[in-house]
Amino acid sequence: MQNKTKSTLLLELRELHQRLRKLETEKDDLRISLETSTEHGDLIEYELLNRLAIFRQQFEALEQEKKDLELSLQVVTETTDLFQNELLDARDTLEIEVRRRTSELAENNLKLQAEIAERERAEAQLKLAASVFQASREGIVITDANCHIILINEAFTKLTGYTEFECLGRNPNLLKSGLHEEFFYQNMWEAIDTLGHWGGEIWNRRKNVEVFSCWLSISAVKSEGQQVTHYIGIMTDNTHQRLSEQRIYQLSHYDALTTLPNRALFQDRLQVAIKRAHRENYRLALLFIDLDNFKDVNTAFSHPTGDQLLQNVAHRLLACVNDDNDAVARLGGDEFVVLLDNLKNEQTILQNAADMADRLLRQLQRPFLLEGFEIFISATIGISLYPEDGDDIDELLKHADNAMFEAKQQGRNNYHFYSKPMNVEARKRLTMQNGLRRALENDEFYLCYQPQLDAKTRRVIGAEALIRWQHPQLGLISPNDFIPLAESTGLIIPIGEWALRIACEQNKRWQNEGLPPIRVAVNLSVRQFYHQGLLSSINAALQQSHLDPRWLELEITETLAMTSADKTLKKIQALQDLGISMAIDDFGTGYSSLNYLKQFSLDILKIDKSFIGDIHSTSGKALISTIINMAHSLGMHVTAEGVETLEQLEELETMACEYIQGFIFYKPLLKEDMQQLLIRENSKIVNTLSQ
């Protein structure tokens, strides 16, 4: 009974009540039946009473059962109430615990949520970083602390041509272009080591050996303990920018039509040249060139033809200048400039500038063949000199421009110096130059003959033919003044040929007159010597005069002999093969190679007068003696020139110098005087023979 639950007990109790009520009803029914059963006899009554007693018993049993049940219910209810209280207590404790655990759980959950969010954020960042690394247009390379590549991105491969496989484990110096000096890399690493970072432009080399320019930034990555763990290099291809920069530079510094430097670049160069000239104490000449009547070409032909003409002019100007020192630029329109830099010799600056102006004018005078036409133009040049005519760009340009304007006023196709004294000199030069062209036709040249004597016998054995120019206005002009001009204009060729022809004819004439034969020496200038017509003109002179070649001597200077030695050697040999004597002039003033001298096997060595003037000193004496001995050992005879004093003559005699030329005996003589001398010489010989 105790084990039954309260609800089971209540159920049973309810059932019991029902059964009791049913029994009550049956008992009532039975009583009524009993009261009304008199008609049925005693049997029925007995039966009914019996059944009633059974009912009663049942009822009482049920009542007892009910009591028991109610008792049990009471027990159960009491037990349940007790349990209920314990349960309530337990539930309260449990609830508190559950609440505590729930809040703990909620807290942990929040933490977890935050952790998950953090992890997701970190993962997203990593993903982003990885995609940025890969998608970056900059080439990125990551190395370990020992500079071994551990990671590169796609852009790096694109930029350098190296794949990851080819790079991993290697040093990034595999990109070294070889264009930077070692100190460049030293500075770079110094910055990384001290500042942790370096950035700059660098030339690298791709796998296909192509060199490219890039902006490179290198950062050192450090641990918390400040130890370098990695290096990150980020490079941006700069080639396109470089090319555009070059293009922009080209456009802004060079003339698009002629590709010559434009005004801006020229001014920069002039500025640099002025500074250097100031520092190193030399001079500059600025030639401002303006084409004459250029507009007519544009009008008569077309602008494209005019453009072509300007391009051709630029080429010709460039061909005239010395690549190393001089600069040509187009200032605009038909205006050009030439800068002569590094003019060290003060004596020749005027000459150099005037020579250049001459050369430019001559080049521009040659016809230009354009579109099937021969187009003739000329130019006018204004010249300013640094520092005389200005010490800054603007002044020099302005004064050269002014000088050009002056030159235009005086007629085109000429040049004009800015400063007056220069112009006087230049005008003299111009007069000489113009006169030089006509001098041959006008028979303004003549030859003098300076006798050469045998040092021992004092007999005249030869003469040097020396040219003179009798200018109608300027008077007698020294060869020292006009020979360089003739050289630079090329007029030395006809003038030299004339001197050669006259000397041969005169010598032959003296021989024909029965005078003692002498060897006449003729000077050859550099241009003349290398002129391809030299041999034929000498042959012509000899044939026309019928002079035996052994009575002709040709003098070349020491400097000439030493330039292009092989070419010189062949030419000397060819002349000697004709039977002509070859002399090396001005010996000691230039640069000689004993080796060449030996190979040339020249006939005569002429010691320069500057040495003879120094013969009184011990060192001068020793030097001359050495030269004479060397010449003898090379099989040459020696002529001492510029001998002016007895002391010099005696010294030379003791040194076994064979021939003497100098004022001590004779100055250069007119041909008539030379003839008289030869007549006297002849009579000396006759006298000696008759004694």
Ligand X SMILES: Nc1nc2c(ncn2[C@@H]2O[C@H](COP(=O)(O)O[C@H]3[C@@H](O)[C@H](n4cnc5c(=O)[nH]c(N)nc54)O[C@@H]3COP(=O)(O)O)[C@@H](O)[C@H]2O)c(=O)[nH]1
Judged by the rule CB under 6 A, the positions of this chain that interact with ligand X are 450, 464, 466-467, 478-480, 483, 496, 499, 523, 525, 585-586, 609, 641-644, 661-663, 668
Q: Is 605 helix (H, G, I), strand (E, B) or coil?
A: strand
CB 572 within 8 A of CB 600: yes
Q: Least Å distance between CB 393 and ligand X? A: 40
Q: Closest separation between CB of residue 186 and ligand X, Å? A: 58
- Residue 494, judged by CB atoms within 10 A of its CB (0-12, 13-18, 19+), counts as middle
Cβ 585 to ligand X shortest distance, Å: 5
Closest separation in Å from C-beta 679 to ligand X: 22
∠ CA 64-66-72, rounded to 5°: 105
For ligand X, the closer of residues 553 and 585 by Cβ is 585
Minimum CB distance to ligand X, residue 668 (Å): 5
Burial letters 324-344, b for 16+ CB under 10 A, else e = eebbbbbbeebbbbbbbbebe
Residues 6+ apart with CB under 8 A from 44: 37
Comparing CB distances to ligand X, the nearer of 72 and 568 is 568
Please list, in sequence order, all residues whose beta carbon lies within 8 angstroms of the beta carbon of residue 633, skipping any fewer than 6 positions away: none
Of the pair 460, 466, the CB lying nearest ligand X is at 466
User: Cβ(51)–Cβ(1) under 8 Å?
Assistant: no
Q: Environment class of residue 230 by beta-carbon count within 10 Å: exposed (0-12), middle (13-18) or buried (19+)?
A: middle
Measure the CA–CA gap between 455 and 499, rounded to whole angstroms.
Answer: 27
Whole-number minimum distance, CB 466 to ligand X, in Å?
A: 4
> What single letter denotes the amino acid at residue 48?
L
The rounded distance, in Å, linking the Cα atoms of 640 and 609 is 7
Closest contact distance (angstroms) between CB of 666 and ligand X is: 9
Beta-strand relationship, 460-471 and 445-454 = antiparallel
Question: How far are the Cα atoms of 252, 309, 407 from residue 331, in angstroms, in the given order?
Answer: 13, 16, 19
Closer to ligand X at the Cβ: 311 or 563? 563
Q: Which is nearer to ligand X, 59 or 666 (CB)?
A: 666
Nearer to ligand X, 309 or 582 (CB): 582
Nearer to ligand X, 104 or 653 (CB): 653
Question: CB 414 → ligand X: shortest distance, Å?
Answer: 27
Question: Which of 153, 525 has the CB closer to ligand X?
Answer: 525
Closest to 426 in 3D by CA, of 495, 361, 490 = 361
| Pick 294 or 659: Cβ nearer ligand X | 659
Q: Smallest gap, in angstroms, from Cβ of residue 638 to ligand X?
A: 13
